[in-house]
Structure 1
């Protein structure tokens, strides 16, 4: 007999839904954000960065899927680190994931505002961003099946639009444009060009950031042990193809430097080929919004599940673990993340530091959270292989331990490079972590009284058995 008193999410998502969520979470990264990497490394330098990060993500996803299928939990990385390292490990993974998923949406919302501003120059992009938050928080509260079906629909449209973009700009494709001044410092493998390759890491990560968020829908998936591996593998392959295709076609149609510090590089690249009054351009702006909306909507779903899981386990105030009585969605968690995101949109003086635009710094903050989470997730995989060899693993990481080791080492290198080139943003990241740790340190009573999460019970049993 099930315990209906525990906060629970509805199981209604198919494998196709999960693929749509995984790709949709990320696909806005093809529409904006990545081109800031050109300003750091040039086109060829950034191509090197992207290849390295694509290797990191591919090996990471093939390894991460083992954790997702073995421990299908709304907390995702929080649950895996909790199982592997106890409450402190759970806090680190959970808070890092929270920073990643709470700070990604305001960057996307600002890009939505920028795209709308192309069509309506009088529209304030920040007000449009706030409007996007209101609409898509409401949609997520309405119900997970509605939300996931919408996510799948807009994701497919966004993929089609990226393919249309490549086709429409192909007549203007000239590889000479892409390689012109393609290295930072204009020479291959000098200290300047190598520095640019490492400085561009956050923007290459933006191509793939948040794909792991589909793990947070695991509690709402039908047969997660079978559907999640298929969805994840199909998603990473889809995204790798789209990332390289979009970047190369956009950079080869004109002066790529004009696209390196703006939020709408694809419409501007297309404008160089078809002209400002072309119907193709207007189509890209309108349908291109679906790519941004897919990620924005999906990451709202992701951050709400992370807040829900952390609250249910006693790491955040218990109000955020409440589920809407009729909709069975974590409505307070959805609203809480939205409030933080809207505040970030208007935090120019706080976040516009280091000489980079507001959006670029928000992207960097989100990436810091992601990289820390990737590191502890791979450490959890190694730890659980040792501590729980009998754990049911419907899917096992291929080429173990090579694949997870590649993902772990490249993530550590990426973190070191990001700290070096973004020291002020890292300081802000550490400050946020310190605030979270103080809450964690002085609220042990919340975790002691958290009876609504089976993860706690399992981890406590495992800890006692290891002690015996």
Structure 2
């Protein structure tokens, strides 16, 4: 059985332990909170508001059961590789390769979608500001911020995440009086079908996708056995309340069809409720940048740690595991992920990037739940500071719903699935060569 290398097994500079419980909550919520600001509204196009509500409830159950189960893995094996480390320990190099690839797709493609939305929000505020250059500029700024240390990055994340949560809370309070049930149910398909519900799943995932990135800062958490469960559980409850509140209220303030293809649905929903010329919609668009910034920043942390962990174990070129001696951050991993993000931004297809990221996520979720079952059987003595509640039912539900979501994405998005599989096959010879060379 293969075990992932721990920081103590290497003489290289290691990541710095600096994150406390509230900072971890802010990173977890920050990773995801942009999903409350944009992306989910594409689901109305495929499912209508009622069908998409069912999609969202299904996905919410999956994430709650998954996070409670995943926390057991994260606290038992606090490793920057997250799912990659758990799968490798449970199923050897092949398990690590599959989980590592899926996680990379998840976290490398979420930031360009967020960066493009940042450009769109900025363009909404001032049409003279172009979308793509703004999106690329975000990468430069936040790679620089993350370069200078995890403590500083976590403090920045805490500030912008709190501002983002407060803004969404204020949004819900402001639009709630304008909510009308007849608006919410208007213009829906005559019959709510399984076909429509499944088609909305990739966009419902966007409400929560990337929360699992908390695992990738596990090596930088103070007292991880206590801090990680607090961070995970409080964050998933925060996000579930915000996701359902924002989505339901936005659909009921007017003709929700106006929002289905926008990267700035929140200020548009406000203008529908308060009037086109109301200054509050512009103010919220300005403040909405905080939510996107929080997610972009936290996803930058996560993709860099995943690249770093894979490189440290030999799955990616070794230089990507280098840690800056002064700031103790994986600088080459930050830059490499940024270059991939630049390429994705130029596609200009936010909805497809979201779907591809979601596919990587659900593959990783399924592999993680299998890893949990395998480790329970093979290593019963493994220390478990946090145990999955209602075992085995929570991980069984999470695994089953992950597979449902995976099948739905594959069925409705065959071209994106082929691209996902094609990239995997391109990387396969590199993995096989490394496996032979290192005698895994």
* TM-score bracket for the superposition, by shorter chain length: over 0.9
Displacement of 1:435 after TM fit? 1.6
Displacement of 1:174 after TM fit? 0.8
Which of 183, 187, 191 is the equivalent residue of 1:188? 191
Which of 353, 356, 362 is the equivalent residue of 1:365? 356
The residue aligned with 1:409 is 400
**Partner Cα separation in structure 1 for residue 344 and residue 13 of structure 2:** 30
What SS is found at the alignment partner of 2:236?
A: helix
The residue aligned with 1:455 is none
**Partner Cα separation in structure 2 for residue 176 and residue 163 of structure 1:** 23
The residue aligned with 1:318 is 318
**Partner Cα separation in structure 2 for residue 40 and residue 394 of structure 1:** 42
The residue aligned with 1:216 is 216
The residue aligned with 1:131 is 137
Q: Structure 1 residues 134 and 447, CA, compared in 2 at 3 Å: closer, same or farther?
A: farther
Displacement of 1:314 after TM fit? 0.3
CA contact (8 A) 1:176 1:252 kept: yes
The residue aligned with 1:18 is 24
Which of 410, 426, 433 is the equivalent residue of 1:442? 433
The residue aligned with 1:463 is none
**Partner Cα separation in structure 2 for residue 221 and residue 364 of structure 1:** 31
**Partner Cα separation in structure 2 for residue 359 and residue 417 of structure 1:** 19
Give 5+ residue unaligned stretches, structure 2.
1-7
Q: Deviations over 1:123-161 (max 9, x none)?
A: 111111001111011101111111111111101000000
Q: Deviations over 1:141-190 (max 9, x none)?
A: 111111111111101000000011112222321111011123xxx2233x
**Cα RMSD, aligned residues only:** 1.4
CA contact (8 A) 1:314 1:446 kept: no
Q: TM-score, normalised to structure 1's length?
A: 0.91
**Partner Cα separation in structure 1 for residue 306 and residue 202 of structure 2:** 22
Which of 166, 169, 178 is the equivalent residue of 1:172? 178
Aligned pairs for 1:454-465 (under 5 A) are: none
Displacement of 1:432 after TM fit? 1.1
**Partner Cα separation in structure 2 for residue 3 and residue 72 of structure 1:** 14
Number of aligned residue pairs: 434
**Partner Cα separation in structure 1 for residue 233 and residue 290 of structure 2:** 23
Which of 63, 66, 69 is the equivalent residue of 2:69? 63
* Structure 1 residue 243 corresponds to structure 2 residue 249: no
**Partner Cα separation in structure 2 for residue 3 and residue 447 of structure 1:** 17
**Partner Cα separation in structure 2 for residue 205 and residue 215 of structure 1:** 18
Displacement of 1:439 after TM fit? 1.4
* Structure 1 residue 382 corresponds to structure 2 residue 379: no
**Partner Cα separation in structure 2 for residue 437 and residue 151 of structure 1:** 36
Q: Deviations over 1:196-248 (max 9, x none)?
A: 11011100000000000011110000000111001101010000000000001
The residue aligned with 1:94 is 100
The residue aligned with 2:307 is 307
Displacement of 1:262 after TM fit? 1.1
Q: Deviations over 1:258-305 (max 9, x none)?
A: 101111110111111223333311221111100001111000100000
Q: Structure 1 residues 36 and 338, CA, compared in 2 at 3 Å: closer, same or farther?
A: same
The list of structure 1 runs, each at least 4 consecutive aligned residues, that deviate by more than 4 angstroms after superposition, is 445-448
Give 5+ residue unaligned stretches, structure 1.
349-357, 449-459, 461-468
**Partner Cα separation in structure 2 for residue 9 and residue 42 of structure 1:** 46
Aligned pairs for 1:36-75 (under 5 A) are: 36-75=42-81
**Partner Cα separation in structure 2 for residue 6 and residue 85 of structure 1:** 27
**Partner Cα separation in structure 1 for residue 436 and residue 123 of structure 2:** 49
**Partner Cα separation in structure 1 for residue 196 and residue 187 of structure 2:** 13
Displacement of 1:7 after TM fit? 3.9
* Structure 1 residue 298 corresponds to structure 2 residue 302: no
Displacement of 1:447 after TM fit? 4.3
CA contact (8 A) 1:208 1:239 kept: yes
Q: TM-score, normalised to structure 2's length?
A: 0.96
Displacement of 1:3 after TM fit? 6.6
The residue aligned with 1:153 is 159
**Partner Cα separation in structure 1 for residue 124 and residue 256 of structure 2:** 19
CA contact (8 A) 1:315 1:446 kept: no
What SS is found at the alignment partner of 1:324?
A: coil
Which of 136, 144, 148 is the equivalent residue of 1:142? 148
What SS is found at the alignment partner of 2:145?
A: helix
